Amino acid sequence: MYGAIEAGGTKFVCAVADENLKITERISLPTTTPEETLAQVFEFFDRFDLEAIGIGSFGPIDTTIGSPTYGHILSTPKLAWANYDFLGAVKSRYNIPVGWTTDVNGSALGEYGLGAGKGLDSILYLTVGTGIGGGAIIDGKLREGLEMGHILLKKHALDDFSGTCPYHGGCLEGLAAGPAIGERYGIKGAELGPEHEAWDMEAYYLGQALMNYVLTLNPQRIILGGGVMKQSQLFPKVRHELELLMQGYINLPDLNTFVVPPALGDDAGITGALLLAKNSK
């Protein structure tokens, strides 16, 4: 059996699966302190005979093999978790291989292996939620260490919002993540109707970001997940913006199959963590 942890800033999802990665049991618990949360995680996993565990974690985390803080959560506004040796804690509890990557890379791995990227060599998974982050698998290899949410964009002519990013103000995340939409309009994105102008502005920014990713990473498919992308009217708008910006400079594939939602839905992350477990043996 394999174990998987999708460690988010708000909640942890733990699952166990059989050799075919079919999930047989799962739990969801709130993210409180490392001691409290991990105690519940261990209580769950202790009931199974696991061969390996995979972790996709909120961060920033250290994924540089050989680094003294490899496996740690680094600086985070969730202070109880700052500098916490998450991987070390799991490894010392279970003497089995433990795979370790970021939450968004976990989702990318899940979609690549068993979702919308199945059968392809190069994909990009972008999450548009509380933050914006990308996980890229290029020629079959996961690229660690990308921070694709903080790229700079051209501001929309009608946008007078300065952005939420504490580092850059109006980077992609600062202008287009869920909290930016909420602050710009003074109402949560989920409560704005599908016809609201917010979605045209959102697509304007996401289209620019995708143009940059297409030109630099050349993925065969781009999967857009996260809470904001639950607004499904965004998909045709983003495809349109991408096509408009590209101006035919390179031939884009059929956009309806190029820019897509996650096939695994909210299970992309936990599925990726299971694949990570299986591959870490």
User: Which positions ≥6 away from 38 have C-beta within 8 Å?
Assistant: 89, 90
Report what 150 binds from ligand ADP, Zn ion, none; CB cut-off 5-8 Å by kind: Zn ion
Which one-letter amino acid corresponds to residue 43?
E
Report what 164 binds from Zn ion, ligand ADP, none; CB cut-off 5-8 Å by kind: none
Closer CB to Zn ion, 65 or 167, in the complex: 167
Q: How far is the CB of 249 from ligand ADP (least distance, A)?
A: 31
Report what 231 binds from ligand ADP, Zn ion, none; CB cut-off 5-8 Å by kind: ligand ADP
Closer CB to ligand ADP, 118 or 188, in the complex: 188
Closer CB to ligand ADP, 52 or 222, in the complex: 222
Binding map of ligand ADP across residues 114-153, x = CB under 6 A, - = no contact: ---------------xx-----------------------
- CA angle 264/265/267 to nearest 5° reads 65
What is the number of the residue whose Cβ is closest to ligand ADP?
A: 178
Closer CB to ligand ADP, 234 or 242, in the complex: 234
In the list 71, 163, 189, 272, the residue contacting ligand ADP (rule: CB under 6 A) is: 189
In the list 187, 190, 215, 250, the residue contacting ligand ADP (rule: CB under 6 A) is: 190
Residues contributing to the site for ligand ADP (CB under 6 A): 8-10, 129-130, 178-179, 182, 188-190, 226-228, 230-231
